[in-house]
Amino acid sequence: MSTTRESSAFRAQRLAPYLFLLPYVVIALSFTLYPLLNAAELAFYQTNGPASRAYVGFDNFRFLLSDAVFMKALKNTAIFATCSVFLQLPLSMGLALLLNSGKSRAKAFFRLVLFSPNLVGQIFVGILFGVMFTPRYGLINRFLQTLTGWGLEEQWLGNPALVMPAIVLTSLWVWVGFNMIYFLAALQSVDKSLEEAARIDGANRWQVFWNVTLPSMRPVVIFVLITCISGSFQLFELPLALLPDSHGNGPDNAGLTVIGYLYQVGFDSGDLGLGSAVGWVVAVVIFTLSLLQIRLSGAAKEAA
Amino acid sequence: MNALHALLFAALGVALVLYVRSPKNPGPALRYLRNVTLIGATILVLAPFFWLIAAAFKDRSVFNSYIFFPPPSEWSSHTVNLDNFRRLLHGDDAVQGKVYFWQYLLNSLFFASAGTVLQLFFCSLAGYALAKFEFWGKRTLMTFMLGSLMIPGVLLLAPVYRMMVGLRFIDTYHGLILPGIVSVYGIFLFRQAILAVPGEMIDAGRIDGCGEFEIYLRLVMPLVRPMSAAFCLVTFLGSWNSFFGPSIFLQSQDKLTLPVILNLYIGQYSNDYGVFLAGTLLAIVPPALLFFALEKEFVSGLTSGAVKG
């Protein structure tokens, strides 16, 4: 009697992990693996809506490479990613350093405030800033006018040269505080005695930061850097809401991103095949970045 | 020279005075500069929020007359009122009949809550299995999971959309929610947290005759409650703000979520900013309340993966 109960308990224990993982496996097979294979196939077809399709070989990719609009979208996205890395991350790090040396109660307050824009969805941010960039009356235009005397009548969202700066400025508001949270958490786990030793050896603040603090934050810095770049390559909702008159394209396509292009060809025009091809281009970029992250953080672990 | 310049000069002047008084010990001057910078950053970050609140309550006729609120002397029901909200809430005419703004709010609430509850359940269940069981195929499965983290969601949108059309799941909430009821990110987060639960406790539960699911529900889950709260917040916020999926999958006016309808409103009310800004204000209040209530869990939940990983 007791042996059968025991064996049934053991059987339950053996079966349990499979049952617990079953929902994930079903979802992953049907909504990740199958669509992935499907996307690989679909990229070689031209489709008109979800139902009809025709095999076109590599034509989708050939078309993308020769399409000036796609190239423009790729260029815009790359510019945005570059600006994000070189403006967002130093600003985030600067604020994290300032906060890290402060008192803990003030620290909690500033951290809360600086992070708060991240609660607002990209669509909402776009709506908000779209009105704040209004010539003559917008908050940003008035602020710039007061500060520098320039910018009151500037058509941020109507001038091709100013569209990307406007998107970058808006993204700073959203993401500087987000990255800062990660940097701050990393700064708090840096070994204080190492910094102290460097200071006793006569290193100045900058040398301590550059040679001691930054290297010991390396895994987090790499994580934030890669997240920032791969996030930048998926930028879509912010320009869409910021530039509503042109569905996120902006004047002269100055605000068009790669994902915006995907949305338009795939879902507005109904060519899911071409959309899949664009998806693969993004996937290759992000995949390369992820591999880079694994290599770099692996190297960091070996060095440590 | 204006008030803003005067303020900036004064702030720099104080720093200079502090430095000149004791050039050999720049500590106080640096501390002062740090605080000024942080306060400046705080003002820059909060200004758009304050501006949004003002914009939502200002009357249409005076929208551009004041940057923020009108001065107290001009404050009246003609300048500051609930008119924008009244026009926002008067409803849209659609094929489905009249659709009111609270419908979109409820839709967003339902979509985000249902997704969050299901993810909490399925991710923690799978995370528990990976943390506390040894079984055939575990390594293969985990390798597959890690690999799938690198697939960007946008790549799968077109094929998933075709599947949804085939399954007749378009324009339904179960179709919208189903692909997101479990995520690899969530599973790994729970696995990490549950690894710290002592195995003796689970064995003790088995000896006491608990079933495997009971152990998960009664013993393991209560121990990872802080992590669960953080996970729920992050997931809820993600669904609440998500746009791409709902904008593709949902079609009927009475099923739309807040980001989708507000994006439509920008075009519909193109010069009547107050209406869609009032809507935006209503859309960011619920996540803000959640965040302020659970701020500590939120931050720790966000950073736990990165710093330890």
Are B182 and A23 in contact (CB < 8 Å)?
Answer: yes
Phi and psi at residue A55, to the nearest 5°: -70, 130
This prediction has a pTM of: 0.91
Residue B270 has pLDDT above 70, yes or no: yes
A236 burial via Cβ count (<10 Å: 0-12, 13-18, 19+): buried
Q: How confident is the model at residue A304 (pLDDT cuts 50, 70, 90)?
A: very low
What's the gap in Å between the CA of A161 and the closest CA on chain B? 23
Q: How confident is the model at residue A31 (pLDDT cuts 50, 70, 90)?
A: very high
DSSP notation for chain A: -HHHHHHHHHHHHHHHHHHHHHHHHHHHIIIIIHHHHHHHHHTTEEEETTTEEEE-TTHHHHHHHH-HHHHHHHHHHHHHHHHIIIIIHHHHHHHHHHHHTS-HHHHHHHHHHHHGGGGS-HHHHHHHHHHHT-TTTSHHHHHHHHHHS--SS--TTTSHHHHHHHHHHHHHHHHHHHHHHHHHHHHHTS-HHHHHHHHHTT--HHHHIIIIIHHHTHHHHHHHHHHHHHHHHT--HHHHHHSGGGTT--GGGTT--HHHHHHIIIIIS--HHHHHHHHHHHHHHHHHHHHHHHHHHHHHHHH-
Residue A4 has pLDDT above 60, yes or no: no
What's the gap in Å between the CA of B151 and the closest CA on chain A? 6
Q: Residue range B122-133: average pLDDT? A: 96
Residue A235 has pLDDT above 50, yes or no: yes
* B60 in contact with A, Cβ within 8 Å: no
Give me the pLDDT at residue A264, please.
92
What's the gap in Å between the CA of A194 and the closest CA on chain B? 19
Neighboring chain B residues of A127 at a CB cutoff of 8 Å: 262-263, 266, 276-277, 280
Residue B296 has pLDDT above 80, yes or no: no
Q: Residue range A268-281: average pLDDT? A: 90
Q: Choose, out of A30, A31, A47, the residue to mutate when testing the contact with B (most B CBs < 10 Å).
A: A31
In A256-272, which positions are buried (b, 16+ CB within 10 angstroms) versus exposed (e)?
A: bbbbbbbbbbbbeebbb
The chain B residue lying nearest A227, using CA atoms, is B306
Q: What is the pLDDT of residues A82-110, one digit of tens each?
A: 999 999 999 999 999 999 887 778 888 89
Residue B92 has pLDDT above 90, yes or no: no
- % of chain B exceeding 90 in pLDDT: 60
Output the average pLDDT for chain A: 89
* B295 in contact with A, Cβ within 8 Å: yes
Instruction: Pick the range with the lowest mean pLDDT from A62-76, A279-293, B78-92.
Output: A279-293
Residue A303 has pLDDT above 70, yes or no: no
Give me the pLDDT at residue B308, please.
42
Q: What is the pLDDT of residues A37-68, one digit of tens each?
A: 999 998 998 888 777 788 888 999 999 999 99
Q: Residue range B239-257: average pLDDT? A: 93
Q: Choose, out of B140, B157, B251, the residue to mutate when testing the contact with A (most A CBs < 10 Å).
A: B157
Higher pLDDT, A223 or B299: A223
